[in-house]
Structure formats: structure tokens, C-alpha cells
Structure 1
Amino acid sequence: MRELVVLGSASQVPTRHRNHNGYLLRWDDEVILFDPGEGTQRQMLFAGLAVTPIRRVCITHFHGDHSLGLPGILQRISLDKVTHPVAVHYPAAGQEFYDRLRHATSYWDNADIVASPVEGASHAVETSAGRLTALPLWHSLPTYGYRLDEPNARRLVPELLAARGIAGPAVGTLQREGRLGDVTLDEVSVERPGQSFAFVMDTGLCDNVFRLAEGVDLLVIESTFLTEDAEMAAMVGHLTAAQAGAVARESGVRKLLLTHFSQRYTDPLRFLEEARAEFDGEIVIAEDLMRVTVPARRPATVEG
């Protein structure tokens, strides 16, 4: 299963209908929690989600609406005695804030929480789902966006196998070794494109926004402001819905999820209208507790 569960879609100020940030990505066995703001643990309860499957937490920056839920999540992981390590990725420049949140109150700490700070112009780690890359963004304090890339693979073509008389255990041998006699794996398979996901919060327009978004299947991106407040957005390091739509268009995004809405706007359809003027692909306006599927895999391609 590959889907994103929206736990909160507000920005600095929550509303009656929008909690502070929180996004849980389920990517097969790799479950990643992004930017747990205040109230995330309770939102997970409403969404029917447990902390047990979480393998890593990604913090973009240490503003409260993106990180004040971290203490509760880590304490719940400890309470539930999660047996596997849980990595927490966060800007290295915010180490002081991480240390405060990691032990914000007294509790019985019996989980393996692995501090994994990110720093530099590009930071990448390998996960069971593929490469997780963090790139710096432009905001009022150190901020990183994240991108997950599944590697390309090969899909066997039954007709090509049959034409070469390959069946049964020989198929497994071919997959493991890449060759069976004179037949190579490439001759009886097609390339299966990997899927990709990007998470971009709290930033003004910069090159890394486009680098993170390039060609992804699902882009989750802040659209705090509307164009009427573009000057304010630029001043405080945020995007408008129109800018988010333009990023999706220029980057070849397949599915666009807009979120992190300012409480000053009461009609979410205005965000859709502004983004739609720039991007004619699939657009989703985030609502708390909604589930957003990653688009179906692109078709496998035959080489040369």
C-alpha cells in the first residue's frame, strides 16, 4: 500500500476543521511520519493509525506547527514498546530544539530512537523504500524538504521467457544472477520505473523546490497564501497556491497535494482555482484525515 494520510493541514494557527501539520506516508513496509505538529497523536487515533509501524520521522524545521507533536509521538512509541529502531531526521542546525523535544517531559524511555540530523547542500540515506534525500529550502530558519525515490527495477515478460524455454526454478536463477546460459535478464524483461514522492514545506521559491519536485508521482507542497498576499508570502518565506501549481507544471509532477493553509482564508476552493490556472494535472486540496493514494506506476518500458 502506498498512500499519504493527512493528519493536519493548517499553518501557524489551527482552525476548527484543520489541525496543525502531520502527514503519514505508507510506502509498503516503510512508514514515515512527516512534520508532526501539536495534536498529531490524537489525529492518528482518529485516522485509525498506530505508531508501531513508523520507521522514521522527518522534520522539515523547528517551528511549532511542524514539530510540537514530536514529544508525544516519541513517548507513545516508547509506551507501545516498538521493537525496531525509529530514525528521526531533522536539520542539524536545530539540534538544540531536537534535544528539548526529545526529552520534553519525564517518561520511561525504552525505545530505540535514532537521531539522524541532516545538513549540507544535499543529504541522503538509503531506506527499504529507496533513497530519501533532504535538500535545504528558503525560510526564516534552517529548513529541509524531503524526496523519496524508489529505484528502477526489471519486470519479467512471460512471453519472452516462454520463447526462450525458461520456466520454473530457472526463472529464479535468472533473476538472481542476471544471466542464464546465453540469455540475459534484460532480454526477457522490461524496465519498471520506480515511484517517487516529495514533501516541501515552509519555503519561498528557490531552486531546490524544483529539484525536489522534479518528475515525482506525488508532490505534497505548502500553499499558505493566495496571490493577493504574494508580497507577504515572499517576505516570510512561503508559497502561494499559484506558485505551487507552477512548480508542479514546470517539474512534470503527476499528482499535486496542496496543504498548510493560512487561517485567514475561509474558502479552500480558492486555492484550487489558483493552482488550476497553472497546472492541469490532478490536484488535491488537503483535508484533515483524508487518504491520498500515490498514482499508479508508470508503464514499464521496452528498451531500444
Structure 2
Amino acid sequence: MRELVVLGTASQTPTRARNHNGYVLRWDDEVILFDPGEGSQRQLLHSSVTATDLTRICVTHFHGDHCLGLPGMIQRLSLDRVPRPVAVHFPAGGVDYFARLRHASSFHETAELAVEPIEADGQRIVLRHGTLEARRLRHRVETYGYRLLEPDGRRMLPEKLAAYGIAGPAVGELLRTGHLDLDGRRVTREEVSVRRPGQRFAFVMDTALCDAVYALAEHADLLVIESTFLESEAALAAEYGHLTAGQAARVAAESGVRRLVLTHFSQRYADPARFVDEARRHFDGDLVIAEDLTTVRVPPRRVPSDE
């Protein structure tokens, strides 16, 4: 299962309809919580995710709307006695903030946290089904965006396998070794399969437009990106290190994004349709204006390329 569960979509100030940030990515055996803002623990109760499901927490930066839910989440992990280590990633320059949030109040800590700060632009964390990469963004404090990259694989072609009489355990051997010797002829994996592009997920929060935004978004199947302002407040967005809906949509269009999720909306905007209208001027693909407690699927795999 690969899907995004949205816990909150507000920016600096929550509203009656929008909680502070919070996003959970289900990616096979990984369940990653991004930017747990205030109220994230309670939002989980209204979602299909539990604290016990979490395998990893990623924080982009230490502004309150992206991290003030950490104390409650960490304490909940201990209360529920999560049976596995939970990795936590955040900008290394904010290690003191993390320590304060982790021990914001007295509690019996039973959960094991694997604290792994992001030390450098481009840092990579190897997962079982892909690689998590952090890129330095341009904001008023140290901020990183994240993307999850699945390596390319192969999709076996049944008609090709049948033509060579390859079936059963021999298929697995062919995948592992790259070839099979049959009746004096070597059959290679490439002869009976096509490249299966790996899937890509990108998460971009508070930032002005910069090269790292494009690097994270490149060919993303699902891009979750802040669009705090509309173009009418572009000067304000630039001053505070944020994107407009138009900028986010242009990034998606230029980067070959398949499904675009806009979020992190300023409380000044009551009508989400305005973000749709602005984004559609630049992006004609699959567009989602995020709402609290909705689920967004990662699109099906891209069509394999012929070789």
C-alpha cells in the first residue's frame, strides 16, 4: 500500500477546518510521519493510522506549525509501547530544539527512538524499498525537503517467458542471476522483461523557489508541496520564504509530476477554489487541494518502457 494520509493542512495558524501540519506516508513496510504539528496525535485518532504503525518521523524544520506535535507523538509512542525502534530525522542545526521537544514534560520513556539528524544537503537514508533523500531548502531557518526514491526494477513479460518455456522457480532464478542457460542458449533477463520505473514521492514544505525544490519534484509520482499564498501575495511569500500556488504548480508542470498535492494554506484564504484556479493556469495534471483527514493514493506505476 502506498498512500498519503493528511492530518493537517494549515500553516502558521490553524482554523476551524484545518489543523496544523501533519502527513503520513504509507510506503510498503514504512509508515512515515512528516512534520507533526500541534494536534497531530488527536488527528491520528480520526484517521486509519495509529502511533504503533509509525516507523519513522521526518521534520523539515523547527517552526512550530511543523513540530509542536512532536512531544505528544513521542509520548504516545512510549504509552503504546511501540515494539520497534522509530527513526527520527530533522535538521542537525535544530538538535537542541528536538531535545527540548522530546523531553517537554515528565513521562516514562519506553519507546526506542533512532535519532538520525540530517547533517548535509543530499544526505540519503537507505530503506528496505527505496532511498530517502534530504535536500536543503531556502527558508528563514534551516529546512530540508524529502523525497523517497524506489529503484527501477523489471517487469517480466509472460508471453516472452512462455515462448522460452520459462516457468516456476526458473523465473525467480532469472531475476536473481540475470540469465538462464536453456538447451545451449543463454536467455537474458532483458529479453523477457521491460524496465519498471521506480516510484517517487516528494515532500516540500516552507521554502522560497530554489533549485532544491525542482530536484525534489523531478518526475515525482506524488508531490506534496506548500502553497501558503496566492500570486496576489507573491511579495509576501518571497519575504517570508514561501511558495505561491502558481509557483508550486509551475514546478510540478516543469518537473513532470503526475499527482500534485497543494497544502499548508494561509488562514487568510477561506475558499480553496482559488488555489485550484491559480494552479490550473500552469498545471493540467492530477491536482489535489489537500483537506484534513483525506487519503491520497500514490498513482499506479508508470507504463514500463520498451527496450
TM bracket (short chain): over 0.9
Once residues 23 and 168 of structure 1 are traced to their aligned partners in structure 2, the CA distance between those partners, rounded to angstroms, is: 41
Question: Aligned residue for 2:279?
Answer: 275
Once residues 212 and 48 of structure 1 are traced to their aligned partners in structure 2, the CA distance between those partners, rounded to angstroms, is: 27
Once residues 151 and 215 of structure 1 are traced to their aligned partners in structure 2, the CA distance between those partners, rounded to angstroms, is: 13
1:103-122 mapped onto 2 (5 Å cutoff) = 103-122=103-122
TM-score, normalised with respect to structure 1: 0.98
1:76-87 mapped onto 2 (5 Å cutoff) = 76-87=76-87
Secondary structure of residue in 1 paired with 2:116? strand
Secondary structure of residue in 2 paired with 1:52? helix
Once residues 286 and 167 of structure 2 are traced to their aligned partners in structure 1, the CA distance between those partners, rounded to angstroms, is: 41
Number of residue-to-residue matches in the alignment: 303
- For 2:151, give the aligned amino acid: P
- For 1:231, give the aligned amino acid: A
Deviations 1:146-196 (A, max 9, x none): 000111111111111111111222222222222211112121111111110
Alpha-carbon RMSD: 0.9
Are 1:289 and 2:293 counterparts? yes
* Runs of 4+ that moved beyond 4 A: none
1:47-62 mapped onto 2 (5 Å cutoff) = 47-62=47-62
Are 1:230 and 2:234 counterparts? yes
Pick aligned residue for 2:210 from 206, 223, 243: 206
Are 1:164 and 2:164 counterparts? yes
Question: Aligned residue for 1:256?
Answer: 260
Deviations 1:76-123 (A, max 9, x none): 111111111110000000011011111111111111101110022211
Secondary structure of residue in 1 paired with 2:117? strand
TM-score, normalised with respect to structure 2: 0.97
Once residues 251 and 265 of structure 1 are traced to their aligned partners in structure 2, the CA distance between those partners, rounded to angstroms, is: 27
Secondary structure of residue in 1 paired with 2:277? helix
Once residues 277 and 283 of structure 1 are traced to their aligned partners in structure 2, the CA distance between those partners, rounded to angstroms, is: 12
1:33-48 mapped onto 2 (5 Å cutoff) = 33-48=33-48
Pick aligned residue for 2:244 from 216, 240, 244: 240
Question: Aligned residue for 2:302?
Answer: 298
Once residues 298 and 195 of structure 2 are traced to their aligned partners in structure 1, the CA distance between those partners, rounded to angstroms, is: 20
Question: Aligned residue for 2:94?
Answer: 94
Question: Aligned residue for 1:128?
Answer: 128
Pick aligned residue for 2:269 from 256, 265, 277: 265
Question: Aligned residue for 2:149?
Answer: 149
